[in-house]
Structure 1
Amino acid sequence: MKSIFDVKKVHLIGIGGISMSSIAQILLSRGIAVSGSDQSVSTLTEQLKQNGATIYVGHAKKNIKDPDIVIYTGAVGNDNPEMIAAKDKAIPIIPRTVALNDILQLHQKIIAVSGTHGKSTTTSIVTHIMRHQIGEISYLIGAQLNETKRAYHLANSPFVTVEACEYQANFLHLYPTTIVVNNIEPEHIDYYKSIEQLIDTFRTFAKHLPADGHLILNRDDPNASQLVDHIGCQVTTFAIDQAADYQATNLTTTAEHTTTFDLLIDGNYVMTIEQALIGKFNVYNTLAAITACHRNGVQLEGIAQLMKHFVNSERRFERLGKFSGANVVSDYAHHPSEVKATIDDAALLANNKLCVVFQPHTYSRTKNMLAEFATAFNAADHIFIADIYAAREENIYNVSSKDLVDVICKAGKKAHYVGNLKNIPAALKAVVDEQSLIIMMGAGSIDDFARKMVDK
């Protein structure tokens, strides 16, 4: 088997994930029979079912019939009954990113966006610009593109954009022609034992680039800047705080909740950009995207207008509606740096009371980053902490959300433990009014809860 497109039947373990479901949809579009399993039914699994996939709820050996190949997601361990059944039947088993690379290799120009933060937003901006500047392109994003309401598209185009995740070094299965590195911070501590190991993994990924490829780095990030050494292709830098090939200056937040900045290329003013994205971190995302597009031949003319009308992907400071008169947004932030950046920028908006409801994501991250989380909420007026969303983990770390509440309080802010998500509405009703902004924050189930909570 040379690629996943050489087989007739594929089974996907963890088919309900955003990336796995995209791969499954692409396989279905190519006439390949698809089956798959996940722990629960979702909108994504229902869409797959409607398109002809066989969906199993729960993992069991009997779900493995006679596929030609099995694809598994990173959250699946070797003790998964379907993994065991596939091995017993000598069925080839490959990780998600190997299948993803087979899709990418259908294209000549592969733009991979990596980094600890901002991958989905940056990939979405690159995709948005390219779709409008050069026509339909292929894309595989970790969130639905707002303008298409899809996280994937397979087009007859030389270009494809992809979100490249560093978890378990998964992106080492990918071979792009352009790599963007937004930033590198300690993350996935259950896998990476040191920041040096994480940087080395990014460096190995960068070495996948061909000689005529492009490595695009955030010069303001000291860890990402280390990748310049020993890379045998063109390196382009972007930055805000120091001179770079592409630089943003004169950042301003407007009363209309937009951000403006001046774009300089090689020190020369090019244009002023206004975007409906708040925060310095989103300027980095846009700057990285513009750099990637321009280095791949996209004309700059028209980009300012495109960014003015760009709407970010779901769960990226997404406005959901109102609750008890207060505006409610959903945000995917789950790393301390993301949490702090989002709250700090939200505090600059025109609201009197900023209420943050945070659902920590994974026991390992919560345990290992308690000190960093302690001061991440300083700009919030009211802080509510829900139970930890376990995701792929067991609580071998002996940590709970009460520990997070304790360190926040010891750092000088008052935080409240709410436990189960169902307790959130009552807690909010006691403090919010029409002048409040509620941020429902986290990478777990809090988003679904928030959507059900808001007034329709």
Structure 2
Amino acid sequence: MISMIFRGLELDPTIIVGGELNELGTNARYGNGDYVVAEACESDGTFLKYKPFAGVITNIEEDHMDYWKDFSFLKESFKKFLSNIKKGGFAVINGDEVGIDFAKNATAEKIITYGIDKKNDLHASDIELAGFLPKYNLIVNDSQNNNCKKEYTVSLSVPGMHNVKNSLAALAVCYGLGLNLEKSAGILKYFTGAKRRFEKRGEKYGAVIIDDYAHHPSEIKATLDAAAIEKKKCIITVFQPHRYSRLANLYTKFNECFRGTDVLVITDVFGSNERPIPGVTARLLVDSLIEDGYDKRIAYIPSLKDIPDYLGMIIKKDDIVILMGAGDITRVTDELLKK
């Protein structure tokens, strides 16, 4: 979203992000402007090599424990990240989820918080989420102008509360840089997202087919919450766990995030570059859900090739079908749409 705004403001940024942006058809481009917009990942600690002028923290969650071993080490690494911010720069922090207290204890010279809570420097009010097209009023407690409040209307073309929060983060960066907030907010309605981020791939049997990259419990919940707003009949979710180490560390944390789906299909783990861990298969997740009292329809189908036929038997008109995971689950989407 930051890169889209900067392009709309004719700042011609260099862009290096993880997902393929719909507007660019790629995840990277070279620009001739003064700004570089880069997405950093904490998975292996390399984000600590960044020395940004503006650093954004959207959340801090228990993930990548194969590298960090302990959640406290991961949280400390984000404080180190903030200490890397260049002199005269600023940090943008999700005050609702990362916490305003975390922001207060950060070493960056200037902190801007955003979120839904009114205590944040920028917050959203009068939020409407219907139609996969969120709208809200942006309220800015303008510390740069005698703490006067300013209000702007924001319309988005990407669904869900998580994208409302993402847009707040992008606008907080613009605010910190002194860019025109009214123009920045207006540009956001042209942002249509990234590939495999709640990407509508087509329709089959009268149902909407959606591809999504979510693989962490909070991401899964955010995706299903967005789908629930437009639910007409059933939400069918096909989930491919990503990495044996993540599943081993987090399998009990998935027990709440799937409550928003009516039918859950779980296939076997996409290991990426990891070797299998004895006893860690998708069956571990299925058993954990059942033991925890999961009361929705659940199917364990280890092989991807068997899933399109199963979906063909259960999909009904007006269902929403979400193929979810960070591995090769898109093969199921492709095969399903061919049927």
Asked if Structure 1 and Structure 2 have the same fold, meaning a TM-score greater than 0.5 normalized by the shorter chain, the answer is yes
Kept after mapping to 1: 8 A contact 2:55/2:91: yes
Residues 1:136 and 2:17 aligned together: no
Aligned-residue Cα RMSD (Å) equals: 1.7
Kept after mapping to 1: 8 A contact 2:82/2:106: no
Residues 1:258 and 2:141 aligned together: no
Q: TM-score, normalization: structure 2?
A: 0.93
Aligned twin of 1:214: 90
> Equivalent residues in 2 for 1:99-118 (5 A)?
none
Aligned residue for 2:286, secondary structure, equals: helix
Q: CA shift at 1:447, angstroms? A: 2.1
Q: 1:211 to 1:135 in 2, by over 3 A?
A: closer
Aligned residue for 2:6, secondary structure, equals: helix
Q: Which has the higher contact order (CA 8 A, sep 6+)?
A: 2
Q: Given residue 141 of structure 1, which amino acid in structure 2 is its aligned partner?
A: V
Q: TM-score, normalization: structure 1?
A: 0.70
> Equivalent residues in 2 for 1:74-85 (5 A)?
none
Kept after mapping to 2: 8 A contact 1:363/1:397: no
Residues 1:329 and 2:329 aligned together: no
Aligned twin of 1:185: 61
> For this pair of structures, how many residues does the alignment match?
331
Q: 1:271 to 1:455 in 2, by over 3 A?
A: farther
Q: CA shift at 1:452, angstroms? A: 4.1
Of residues 258-267 and 331-340 in structure 1, the stretch that sits farther from structure 2 once superposed is: 258-267
The C-alpha deviation readout for 1:137-163, integer Å capped at 9, x for no partner, is: 101010112111011111221101000
Q: Given residue 299 of structure 2, which amino acid in structure 1 is its aligned partner?
A: H
Q: CA shift at 1:217, angstroms? A: 0.6
Q: Given residue 138 of structure 2, which amino acid in structure 1 is its aligned partner?
A: L
Q: 1:286 to 1:454 in 2, by over 3 A?
A: same
Kept after mapping to 2: 8 A contact 1:146/1:314: yes
Aligned residue for 2:258, secondary structure, equals: coil
Residues 1:157 and 2:38 aligned together: no
The C-alpha deviation readout for 1:162-200, integer Å capped at 9, x for no partner, is: 001101111111111110000101000101122211111
Q: Given residue 181 of structure 1, which amino acid in structure 2 is its aligned partner?
A: I
Task: Give the Cα–Cα distance (whole angstroms) in 1 for the partners of residues 62 and 99 of structure 2.
Answer: 10
Residues 1:454 and 2:337 aligned together: yes
Aligned twin of 1:430: 313
Kept after mapping to 2: 8 A contact 1:199/1:223: no
Aligned residue for 1:287, secondary structure, equals: helix
Kept after mapping to 1: 8 A contact 2:11/2:34: no
Aligned twin of 2:258: 377
The C-alpha deviation readout for 1:256-306, integer Å capped at 9, x for no partner, is: 221111100007241121212222111110000111122123211223332
Q: Give 2:112's match in structure 1, choosing from 210, 232, 236.
A: 236
Aligned twin of 1:396: 277
Aligned residue for 1:312, secondary structure, equals: coil
Q: CA shift at 1:397, angstroms? A: 4.9
Q: Given residue 337 of structure 1, which amino acid in structure 2 is its aligned partner?
A: S
Q: 1:225 to 1:449 in 2, by over 3 A?
A: farther
Q: Given residue 265 of structure 1, which amino acid in structure 2 is its aligned partner?
A: V
Task: Give the Cα–Cα distance (whole angstroms) in 1 for the partners of residues 106 and 184 of structure 2.
Answer: 33
Task: Give the Cα–Cα distance (whole angstroms) in 2 for the partners of residues 231 and 434 of structure 1.
Answer: 53
- Unaligned runs of 5+ residues in structure 1 are 1-124
Task: Give the Cα–Cα distance (whole angstroms) in 1 for the partners of residues 235 and 108 of structure 2.
Answer: 47
Kept after mapping to 2: 8 A contact 1:330/1:450: yes
Task: Give the Cα–Cα distance (whole angstroms) in 2 for the partners of residues 448 and 132 of structure 1.
Answer: 34
Q: CA shift at 1:323, angstroms? A: 2.4
Kept after mapping to 1: 8 A contact 2:48/2:81: yes
Aligned twin of 1:359: 240
Q: CA shift at 1:448, angstroms? A: 3.9
Task: Give the Cα–Cα distance (whole angstroms) in 1 for the partners of residues 140 and 282 of structure 2.
Answer: 45
Q: Give 2:181's match in structure 1, choosing from 282, 300, 319.
A: 300
Q: 1:147 to 1:220 in 2, by over 3 A?
A: same
Aligned twin of 2:327: 444
Aligned twin of 1:196: 72
Q: CA shift at 1:222, angstroms? A: 4.0
Aligned residue for 1:140, secondary structure, equals: strand
Q: 1:431 to 1:171 in 2, by over 3 A?
A: same
Q: Given residue 243 of structure 1, which amino acid in structure 2 is its aligned partner?
A: K
Of residues 434-443 and 303-312 in structure 1, the stretch that sits farther from structure 2 once superposed is: 303-312
The C-alpha deviation readout for 1:88-111, integer Å capped at 9, x for no partner, is: xxxxxxxxxxxxxxxxxxxxxxxx
Larger helix fraction of residues: 2
Q: CA shift at 1:130, angstroms? A: 0.5
Residues 1:416 and 2:291 aligned together: no
Task: Give the Cα–Cα distance (whole angstroms) in 1 for the partners of residues 190 and 266 of structure 2.
Answer: 34
Kept after mapping to 2: 8 A contact 1:139/1:160: yes
Q: 1:343 to 1:417 in 2, by over 3 A?
A: same
Q: 1:397 to 1:170 in 2, by over 3 A?
A: farther
Task: Give the Cα–Cα distance (whole angstroms) in 2 for the partners of residues 190 and 409 of structure 1.
Answer: 26
Q: CA shift at 1:455, angstroms? A: 4.5
Q: CA shift at 1:324, angstroms? A: 2.7
Q: CA shift at 1:225, angstroms? A: 4.5
Larger Rg: 1
Q: In percent, how many aligned pairs have the same letter?
A: 31
Task: Give the Cα–Cα distance (whole angstroms) in 1 for the partners of residues 283 and 37 of structure 2.
Answer: 40
Q: Give 1:278's match in structure 2, choosing from 149, 159, 164.
A: 159
Q: CA shift at 1:373, angstroms? A: 0.7
Task: Give the Cα–Cα distance (whole angstroms) in 2 for the partners of residues 232 and 257 of structure 1.
Answer: 36
Task: Give the Cα–Cα distance (whole angstroms) in 2 for the partners of residues 259 and 438 of structure 1.
Answer: 21
Q: CA shift at 1:230, angstroms? A: 4.8
Q: 1:224 to 1:142 in 2, by over 3 A?
A: farther
Task: Give the Cα–Cα distance (whole angstroms) in 2 for the partners of residues 455 and 273 of structure 1.
Answer: 38
